[in-house]
Amino acid sequence: MSDLYGYKVKDINGADVSLEDYKGKVLLIVNTASKCGFTPQYTGLNELYNKYSSDGFEVLGFPCNQFGKQEPGSDEEIKSFCDISFKINFPMFSKVDVNGGDAAPLYDYLKAEAPGLLGSKAVKWNFTKFLVDKDGNVLKRFAPKDTPESIEREVKELL
């Protein structure tokens, strides 16, 4: 597929969602995990979302268990963890693979559009972030260590 908006994904409750629903918005697409050293970034992601969602910004969270088995729970358990521990307001989606033969097609697209260091396509760890502009262009990949606070300026510039 050659267009971000052509992808369909499942939300954390199992409902089909078309990325077309996010057309015209700035997106930060993140692979998440509940038992990772970067899990506290949920707080910053939620704060960024709360601050700019009324301006057309969305954080899309995709749980993934491929890195250190740090997201072992079911979608229901993940949703409960996010609600109780972080009071997440941004959309969370069904658990996906981001690398390998079973990778979600959306992630294959994101990796091709915004390769990592030295052109690497693979996502290296939890909380890798992809920044997408209002026209659906994947502009940049951020490493897990890049905090939501550190990328706020770039988000704000796109809004």
Distance CA 103, CA 32 (A): 15
Q: Grade residue 118 by pLDDT with cuts at 50, 70 and 90.
A: confident
Alpha helices in the chain (DSSP H): 41-52, 75-81, 105-113, 148-158
Can you give the pTM of this predicted structure?
0.96
Residue 131 · residue 27 · CB < 8 Å: yes
- What tens digit of pLDDT does each residue of 55-102 get? 999 999 999 999 999 999 999 999 999 999 999 999 999 999 999 999
The catalytic position among 36, 48, 59, 155 is 36
Whether 4 has a pLDDT exceeding 70, the answer reads yes
pLDDT at 1: 53
Residue 125 · residue 23 · CB < 8 Å: no
* Closest residue by Cα to residue 48 from 61, 37, 35: 61
Residue 132 · residue 27 · CB < 8 Å: yes
DSSP secondary structure code for residue 150 in this structure: H
pLDDT at 2: 67
Phi-psi category of residue 25: left, alpha or beta, with phi > 0 → left and psi -120 to 50 → alpha: beta
Domains contained in the chain, CATH given: 4-158 (3.40.30.10)
Distance CA 64, CA 31 (A): 6
Q: What is the mean pLDDT of the chain?
A: 95
Residue range 113-117: average pLDDT?
86
Q: What angle do CA 57, 67, 76 make, to 5 degrees?
A: 60
Say whether 82 is catalytic: no
* Closest residue by Cα to residue 132 from 40, 24, 50: 24
